A and B are shown apart, each in its own frame.
Chain A
Amino acid sequence: MTDIQKYALVATSLLFSLVAPFLLPQFATQLTMLWLMVIFALTWDTLGGQMGYNSFGNILFFGIGAYGCAVIQRDMGLDYFSGLAVGLAFAAVLSAIVAIVLGVGMLGLRGHYFAIGTLGLGIAAGEIAGGWDYVGAGSGMVPPLYPTEMAGRELFFYFLMFALALVTFLVLRTLYATKFGLALNAIRDDEDKAEAMGLRTTQIKSLAWAVSALFLGVGGGVAGNLLGFIDPRDVAFAGATFGVWMVLMAILGGKGTLWGPVIGAVVFHITQELFWTYLLGWQRVALGLLIVAIVIFFPNGILGTLRERFPEWFGEKVEERR
């Protein structure tokens, strides 16, 4: 593909994203969830793909964001929109701070240990939220309702989530293009060497996790309001659904690439919606099968496979061999 074709493709999808909720109003909520999935995959890939730290517990920050935002909305006594704005800002800051604090200990772990340690964090958070009365314990929290006199609830959340996904993408794109992005890749390739070369690996790792947590936190705040109910184990810290999906989507699209997670999220979300309608109760079995199949047979993902087949699309020069 030439650059022009690529830009045309991006422009068309952007345009479609802008008009989609008007064209398909009955799917507006599903489309909003699609952008949430894009945020999930993108933020997971910052550590999992670019830095080589496979986190199974990034859902932690989503939950913290959802609860943080809802608590602010409940306790500050502001009107809906300013409450939401303050809540989202709080969710962002809180998630990022938690990431930095946890990062001190957690990001020293490597490989298996980081993966299982983060898995433990995500589940522990869900269990704690499920027993903590301040956030509604097991019965969860209900964020304030969108004012009834205002129309366009679906559109509002659609564009909010869309804007968030867009900002996440652009920030990560810029970040990966800087020295910071190179440092992340260096850590992935050989952390000891990167450290020996003078990179401040601890700070870099914490910062990367904080960036990813920040966007996840805001996403959690918006999602909590969109869904209208925050359950500790099935929404906020839903390790078995959202938590697994984010890993799966990033791998499906191609981890360690910029566009991979986006493509993976779109493909997965559409497939998943199909499963939900036709598989009646067996969707989660299918989800498990999908994970095993993708991981074993398709670990490079869509973009990775395309890159192997058509390297010239990715700007790599291919020499003809005689």
Chain B
Amino acid sequence: MLENLQLLFDYPALGADLIANGLMIGAIFALAAFGMALVWGVLGIINIAQGELVMLGGFVALTAAGLGVPPLMTIPLAALVLFMIGWGLYRLVIFRVVDRDLFVSLLATFGLSIILQQLSNEVFGADVRTLETGLGTLILFDSQIVLAEIKLVSFVTALVVGLALWAFLKRARLGQAIRATSQNARAARILGIDTDRVYAATYALNAALCGAAGSLVVMAWTIHPYIGLPYTVRSFLVVIVAGLGNIAAVIAAGLGLGALENVAGFVLGAEYQIAFVFSLMVIILVVRNLLLRRKREYLK
């Protein structure tokens, strides 16, 4: 651990490489976090099954690529398929917990995550899989920074999707309905907005975002049925740092988390990377709460 830290100080370029790669990965976290912030803000549910939706997106991309779809085309495809899955999940389970207390929604989505996890274990198998894109690697600054092109693709995708989402929420009819519902669901209903449909669309949109993130994960990284929970926690982490309803902050926090995690993974050793993410979340929660406590504003 210390020798790794020493190495970082001796070769700053190594640090730059880690951070650059981390930023690219962080873009994927931001993508999943958009969805979590949406669902949290509009439905008032913290979706523990978030990571499982990412995982499903990855498996959809893998299956599609197996059927001959070019790898990059699997991104919109996974988003589309997951949109439908998300709609189905809302109609089956989520709509029952929208107005219930937080414990019910938390546990119900937790149960959902177990179902999705175990189903994909049965259907796709427990192997660690990846999707070969055929893209090369970029070598920058005298080969001091090595970046896989697919990571660049994911970075750009996340930015574009973020921008599109912002425009959608601002301008589109449905986007405005979503914002109205999140501000005051009752008033929105009185004004003629079908809030149930808005909820369904929000959850499905969330699933689509996760699907896109998942297809990027499987191309830039690896995927297996039990990969979900770290992604849920990462999205959660990004959202509590960035707050609800601020897309630029979500991107910034996602990128920051990616960079931090990559550097920490190098310094502490890859086997502690997940432990780092989870501990970081606990620490941030506790510290934030202590800061708010001074003003008697608890995290609620």
Contact = CB atoms under 8 A, between A and B. Distances in A.
Interface string B271-300: 110110011011001100110010000111
B291 to A, nearest CB: 11
Contacts of A240: 114
B300 A110 contact: yes
Contacts of A117: 281-282, 285-286
Interface in A92-144: 105-106, 108-113, 115-117, 119-121, 123-124, 127-128, 130-131, 138
A106 to B, nearest CB: 7
27 contacts: A54-B106, A56-B110, A105-B289, A106-B286, A108-B286, A109-B289, A111-B102, A112-B46, A112-B102, A115-B103, A117-B286, A120-B281, A121-B282, A123-B229, A124-B274, A127-B275, A128-B272, A131-B271, A244-B114, A251-B107, A284-B114, A291-B114, A292-B111, A292-B112, A296-B96, A296-B104, A296-B108
B300 A111 contact: yes
B97 interface: yes
B118 interface: yes
Contact of B104 (A56, A121, A244, A295): A295
Interface of A: 54, 56, 105-106, 108-113, 115-117, 119-121, 123-124, 127-128, 130-131, 138, 240, 244, 247, 251, 281-282, 284-285, 287-292, 295-296, 299
Contact of A288 (B46, B115, B274, B300): B115
Interface of chain A, main secondary structure: helix
Contacts of A289: 111, 115
A104 B236 CA distance: 22
| Minimum-distance CB pairs A-B, first 7 | A291-B111, A288-B115, A288-B114, A127-B275, A105-B286, A124-B278, A292-B111
B101 to A, nearest CB: 9
A58 B293 CA distance: 25
Contacts of B299: 109-111, 113
Contacts of A116: 46, 106, 233, 236, 281, 285
Contact of B285 (A113, A124, A138): A113
B30 to A, nearest CB: 19
A285 B290 contact: no
Contacts of B112: 288, 292
A296 B272 contact: no
Nearest to A292: B111
A203 B298 CA distance: 18
A130 B290 CA distance: 30
Nearest to A52: B103
Contacts of A131: 269, 271-272, 275
A247 B106 CA distance: 12
